[in-house]
Structures are given as C-alpha cells and as structure tokens.
Chains A and B, each alone.
Chain A
Amino acid sequence: MAFVAKNKPNDVPRQVKKPAAATETERVCPRCKSKLDVGKLWENRNVCSCGYHFKLKARDRVALTVDVDSFEPLWEDITSVDVLEFPGYENKLELSRYVAGEADAVVCGRAKISGRPCILFAMDPFFMMGSMGAAVGEKITRAFELATEEGLPVVGFTVSGGARMQEGLISLMQMAKTSAAVQRHSAAGLLYLTVLTNPTTGGVTASFAMLGDVIFAEPGATVGFAGARVIEQTVGKKLPQGFQTAEFLLAHGFADAIVPRDEQRWAIGNMLKLHAVSA
C-alpha cells in the first residue's frame, strides 16, 4: 500500500480562501503589542525588538541558515495521500499546499553551513501546523538514511503540532520509522543537531525532535508532549508561568542551549566544525 504520492504540479485547489498574510504590511507583536512593518521585521529575521520570534516558513529558515547557493532540495514532490478518506483532509491538503507553497510539511536537502556539508530539514508551520503524516515521516527518514550512507551530519528545525491524526495509525508509525532511522545514523557515529522552534509538540517531540545529540531551542518556543489545554483539564489546575517553554526545557535539563535566531547560523556551524575533527 502506498501512503504517499508524488505531487501533481498542476493541482489546483478546489476551495481556497485568500491567505490573510498576503495583504498584510503591518503585524502586531503578540508579546509587546507594538506594530511592526513587515519588511523591517523580515530584515530582523522575523524577530521583534522585544525578542519575540515570529514563525518562519521552512524555505525562509533554510535561507537564513545555509551558506549562499549551497542548498540542494531533495524529494520535493513527496506529499501525503488521504488514504483513510478522513473528513475534510483532502481539502486541507490542497489548501495547505497553496498557503505554504510546499508539497508537504517539511523541506529537506543538502546544504553547507559555515562551509561544512550536512543534510538539512526544516518543518513548515504553515502546512497543517507542521503535522507529521506519511510524507513528513518518509522525508525525515530518507534524510537520515542518506546522511548515514554518506557519513554526513543532520541538522533539523522542528515545528509541529504532532502526528497528523487524519492519517490514523500510519502517522503514528512515522514516529517509530523516523526514530529507527535516527538510531542507525547515531550508531554510525554521526552528529544530529535539532533546533526546536515554536511550537514543537506531540508525536514529533516524542520522536525525532528530542533525539538530537545536541538540542537547541529558540527563545520562548513552546515545546512539550501533551497540549497545555489537555494537561489543564486533566490536573484541574492552572499551569505554572512559563510551562513548556524553551526556558522551561533548559531548566529541566532537556535542551543544551537556547539560541536566538540571529546566533543560530554561527552556533550550528560551530557545532558542525567541532564534530568534523576526528580524534
């Protein structure tokens, strides 16, 4: 049974609303409430002067991270299929392809960072909140398999609502599939670095996101397994301030460092260099 298909480039979405972002020239920072010019915000890598990190498209992540002209995308046409005929999924896929401009919720490729070659993946928050179905799982798995074969490190930016429920058990199995591929890459003695960005939750946190040899987190990012609302309902109490943030993760020993967006390129490059010297 095939659960992923190649995307047909001429797919025209049946029902799409015009994305609000397309007409925006100004955005409001959810933290400090100041109004920000979209162009100026972009010049600052979509980070407000108060330090709030706005979401980034996968391609923009890649552009901000890799050496100029070094990115060679891989498996760009892999996209999920609505195998379960799940209510509304077909439409959601089409809408997401249009809004995110991607075939599915992750972009993979070969890249160089600070001159060091690596396999890079970046998840896309604008494609069904970066949720992991068969296509995402397949591309992440291929990224690790290729890196293992070629002896390369893997650098990954995670952002995800978790497993994509519209694909049922097959999406759950992607957690096992990707983790198994990480295991082989790790057993080959190769470096895996993750950057956890806002938000990284559910089945992605509980699989490849937390398996990095080195784990960076973006300031203020929400990172956790269970959703805050579910926890609140379960325990019947208000959650403590700063619960499930990058800073919370660092304090409890689950991240190596909090790295702001403007330092990521250097910090990743540095890590790649530190692991490129053989003893």
Chain B
Amino acid sequence: MAKAKNKSTPAYDRVRAARGGKRPTGLDYVKGVFSDFFELHGDRAFSDDAAVAGGIAWLYDKPVTVIALEKGHSTKERSKRNFGSPHPEGYRKALRLMKQAEKFHRPVVCFVDTAGAYPGVGAEERGQGAAIAENLLALSGLRTPVLSIFIGEGGSGGALALSVADEVWMLENAVYSVISPEGCASILWKDASKAPEAAAFLRLQAQDALEMGVCDRILPEKGLGSRAFYRDLSRLIYDKLTELSALDAEALVGARYARFRQFGTGA
C-alpha cells in the first residue's frame, strides 16, 4: 500500500538519475574536457574545502579557470568531499579563483553537482549565507566570461553560487531546483515520501529550466563519460568561450545583468 503512494513521477526519475552514483563527477569532466589541470587549493583564510575543486587547465590553446563541485566516487572519497556539499570556505575558494581569472583575463568554467550548501554548525559559524551572497554579487560583476554546466544535481543557492553565468548548460538528466523534492514535500504535506509528487510541481528538469530561460542549452547524454562525449563537449565549450571572449567586458557584464534581470519582471 505504502508503495503505491510513493509512485515515482518522470520528474523524480530525473532526480534519481541526477543523483545516480555511477555518473561522472566534476573532476571527471575536468580531466575529460581539459588537459593538464593544475589544482589550486585553499581559500587563503580558513581551509581547503574538498567539495570544491578548482585550478587552471588548458582547453586547446586557451588557459581556463575551472571550478568543479566534486561528490567523489568511492565511499571514502565521497566522505572526504562531504558528498559535494560545500562549506563557506569552498565558496570562498571558488571566489578567489574567479577573481584570479578576472585579473588574468581567463574565462571561468564551472561544473555544478551538489545537493546544496552544507547545513552544519561550522558552516553557519563561518557564514554560509554571506559566502553564497558574496559569490552572487561578485559573479554578477565579474569582467571575464563565465560558463556553468550542471552535470547532476543543482541544489538551490548552493548551486547558484557557481552559476550566475553568461550561459548555463544542463546535462539531459541534470536537475536544478529551489528546494529538494523531499524538503518541499515535508513542508507541503509533512511527508518526505511524497517527494515524487513535489518534484513534478517544482519544474526542476533541464527542459523546464530551458523553457524558463534559466538554462541555455541541454546536453544529450549519449555516450556519457566516453572520450567522444568529452571531445564534443570540449569543442562546444571552446566555441562558446571564444564567442564570449570577443565581447568587451562592459558588454559582457551588461548582458549577464540582463540575463538575470529578466526573471520575474513586472507587467
């Protein structure tokens, strides 16, 4: 009987796929798409958050700043990376690398895959809200191209903190939501097991995000994780960064402002 109530929905199937443990994670993309990734650690203030991996890599002839939310594969690695849920120092490391990219006129590519910013005691003590807010503000004015690619879960503010970007792309099975379907169901119906129903209402699939203008391109998952898949993605990213780099900083930042300004405007 209980099973019938919790029947899945196409939207929730997508959530399950996005969370699937066998999907490539952030660093798989970094290694597959770019070459000679050199990782740069730490936020220069508190510590080095392993849920966020960042550094500089080559994309053909272009140096690119790459930032990836990393969930890890093995149980041990997943635990070390806090299952991809950053603390404030993770967002501050990302911010440091973005500012560094701006200074040296490098484009920024982010790979987003997180259930959300970590809800913990230390995270609150060190200003999780402030850290995310500062990233939103800094990204909106960053004078270098930013491209964000959602490869799995896009959990609310914790994902947005790396995606106030010139373009947002989503894998076919990636999701992007203001709240987890479980959280939404507990608030609405005091019953987290109704998450499949909540997922349908939240319109969190890539296609929904595309229709709302939140996402600019859906990437098909044919051959996901194969060499050909990464090679095609490399080309797509290269062409987009070339196009964005041709704009002067003023026009770039102006277009980014307009991109986010359009959501929920007055009649």
A interface vs B, CB < 8 Å?
A: 1-6, 75, 78, 84, 86-88, 133-135, 137-138, 141, 163, 165, 167-177, 179-180, 182-184, 186-187, 202-203, 205-211, 223-227, 230-231, 234-235, 237, 239-240, 243-244, 248, 252-254
* In the complex, residue of chain A having the shortest beta-carbon distance to the beta carbon of B187: A165
User: B177-204: which residues lie under 8 A (CB-CB) from chain A?
Assistant: 177-179, 183-184, 187-188, 201-204
* Cβ contact of A176, chosen from B121, B127, B140, B266, cutoff 8 A: B140
How distant is the Cα of A234 from the Cα of B203 in the complex, in angstroms? 26
How distant is the Cα of A237 from the Cα of B127 in the complex, in angstroms? 20
* In the complex, residue of chain A having the shortest beta-carbon distance to the beta carbon of B215: A169
How distant is the Cα of A84 from the Cα of B205 in the complex, in angstroms? 13
Q: Note all chain A residues with C-beta closer than 8 A to B263.
A: 3, 134, 137, 170, 173-174, 176-177
12 interchain pairs, CB-CB under 8 A: A78-B266, A88-B188, A134-B264, A165-B184, A168-B177, A168-B201, A171-B264, A177-B263, A206-B133, A211-B133, A225-B124, A235-B120
Given contacts A168-B204, A183-B140, are A225 and B264 in contact (CB under 8 A)?
A: no
Question: Hey, what's the 0/1 contact readout for B124-145 against A, CB within 8 Å counting as 1?
Answer: 1111111011101110110000
How distant is the Cα of A78 from the Cα of B267 in the complex, in angstroms? 9
* In the complex, residue of chain B having the shortest beta-carbon distance to the beta carbon of A180: B140
B117 within 8 A of A: yes
How distant is the Cα of A133 from the Cα of B263 in the complex, in angstroms? 10
Q: Is the CB of B120 within 8 A of A205?
A: no
Q: Is the CB of A254 within 8 A of B127?
A: yes
Q: Note all chain B residues with C-beta closer than 8 A to A171.
A: 178, 264
Q: Is the CB of A180 within 8 A of B257?
A: yes
> Which of A2, A183, A206 has the most CB atoms of chain B within a 10 A radius of its CB?
A206
How distant is the Cα of A215 from the Cα of B201 in the complex, in angstroms? 36
Q: Is the CB of A235 within 8 A of B260?
A: no
* In the complex, residue of chain B having the shortest beta-carbon distance to the beta carbon of A169: B214
How distant is the Cα of A224 from the Cα of B187 in the complex, in angstroms? 18
How distant is the Cα of A165 from the Cα of B198 in the complex, in angstroms? 11
Additional pairs, 6, CB under 8 Å, beyond known A1-B212, A5-B267, A176-B140: A165-B202, A180-B140, A180-B261, A207-B136, A210-B129, A225-B119
**Main SS of the interface on chain A?**
helix
Given contacts A3-B264, A137-B264, are A225 and B132 in contact (CB under 8 A)?
A: yes
Question: Hey, what's the 0/1 contact readout for B211-253 against A, CB within 8 Å counting as 1?
Answer: 0111000000000000000000000000000000000000000
Given contacts A78-B266, A186-B137, A224-B129, are A231 and B178 in contact (CB under 8 A)?
A: no
Question: Hey, what's the 0/1 contact readout for B76-102 against A, CB within 8 Å counting as 1?
Answer: 000000000000000000000000000
How distant is the Cα of A176 from the Cα of B164 in the complex, in angstroms? 7
Q: Note all chain A residues with C-beta closer than 8 A to B125.
A: 248, 252
Q: Is the CB of B178 within 8 A of A168?
A: yes
Q: Note all chain A residues with C-beta closer than 8 A to B120.
A: 226, 231, 234-235
Q: Is the CB of A176 within 8 A of B119?
A: no
- Nearest-neighbour CB distance to chain A for B248, whole angstroms, equals 17
Q: Is the CB of B164 within 8 A of A231?
A: no
Q: Note all chain A residues with C-beta closer than 8 A to B156.
A: 163, 172, 203
How distant is the Cα of A134 from the Cα of B188 in the complex, in angstroms? 20
B208 within 8 A of A: yes
Q: Note all chain A residues with C-beta closer than 8 A to B267.
A: 2, 4-6
Q: Note all chain B residues with C-beta closer than 8 A to A134.
A: 263-264
Q: Is the CB of A87 within 8 A of B164?
A: no
Q: Note all chain A residues with C-beta closer than 8 A to B119.
A: 225-227, 230-231, 234
B24 within 8 A of A: no
How distant is the Cα of A121 from the Cα of B121 in the complex, in angstroms? 30
Q: Note all chain B residues with C-beta closer than 8 A to A254.
A: 127, 130
List the 5 closest A-B pairs by CB distance, nearest first: A134-B264, A226-B119, A205-B129, A180-B140, A179-B136
How distant is the Cα of A6 from the Cα of B129 in the complex, in angstroms? 31
Q: Note all chain A residues with C-beta closer than 8 A to B109.
A: none
B160 within 8 A of A: yes
